[in-house]
């Protein structure tokens, strides 16, 4: 069994993720992975009463910066939303093929990733990030991974760099 729960990506500066009001209300433990330029990646654990879109919007509003929330299922796939403070949002999946296999039992699956890259590029521009579009397109087709390696690859493809000092990556 792999990781299931929420992962958030937000630019918070020196504020820890567990200090944010929108995360504090979820009553979950947060693993805080500090990245360059004030970005943080947090693994929250299972959250029953919120959706990725709601959490991404709340994060973007509270931090006044673009943010992402991913709902990860068994390390194999994720339903995700990237939101910005102006109310813009793009929905996408990590590993759309796995999501399709899980939900396409009645033919009502809505593919998102075919148009997600353009939306994520616009999101990244609002976040002042430099993106490699080909690397981004490949990263959203990967699985999140049991240790978040697919999520780290995705964030790095967006231009959210790891910390060079202190061994954080």
Where is pLDDT greater, at 112 or 90? 90
Return the half-sphere exposure (C-beta side, CA atoms, 13 A cut-off) of residue 15.
16
Q: What is the mean pLDDT of residues 119-146?
A: 94
Contact status, residue 153 vs residue 169, Cβ threshold 8 Å: no
* Contact criterion met (CB below 8 Å) for 8 and 42: yes
> Structure pTM?
0.90
Q: Are 74 and 2 in contact, with CB atoms under 8 Å apart?
A: yes
Vertex 9: Cα angle to 8 and 11 (nearest 5): 135
Would you place residue 113 in the very low, low, confident or very high pLDDT band (cuts 50, 70, 90)? confident
**10: enclosing H helix or E strand:** strand 5-11
Percent of the chain at pLDDT exceeding 90: 64
User: Which pLDDT belongs to residue 154?
Assistant: 96
d(CA 53, CA 74): 20
* Higher-confidence position of 108 and 31: 31
Q: Taking Cα atoms as reference points, which of 33, 45, 32 lies closest to residue 5?
A: 45
Taking the C-alpha atoms of residue 138 and residue 46, their distance in angstroms, rounded to an integer, is 27
């Amino acid at each position: 069994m792999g990781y299931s729960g929420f992962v958030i990506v937000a630019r918070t500066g020196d504020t820890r993720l567990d200090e944010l009001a929108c995360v504090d209300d979820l009553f979950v433990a947060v693993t805080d992975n500090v990245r360059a330029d004030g970005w943080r990646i947090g693994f929250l654990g299972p959250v029953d009463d919120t959706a990725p879109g709601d959490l991404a919007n709340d994060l973007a509003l509270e931090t006044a910066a673009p943010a992402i929330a991913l709902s990860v299922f068994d390390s194999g796939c994720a339903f995700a939303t990237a939101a910005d403070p102006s109310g813009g949002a793009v929905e996408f999946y990590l590993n759309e093929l796995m999501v399709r296999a899980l939900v396409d039992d009645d033919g009502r699956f809505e593919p998102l990733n075919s148009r997600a890259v353009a939306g994520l590029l616009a999101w990244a521009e609002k976040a002042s990030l430099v993106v490699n579009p080909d690397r981004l397109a490949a990263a959203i087709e990967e699985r999140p991974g049991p240790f978040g390696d697919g999520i780290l690859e995705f964030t790095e493809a967006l231009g959210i760099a790891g910390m060079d000092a202190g061994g954080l990556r």
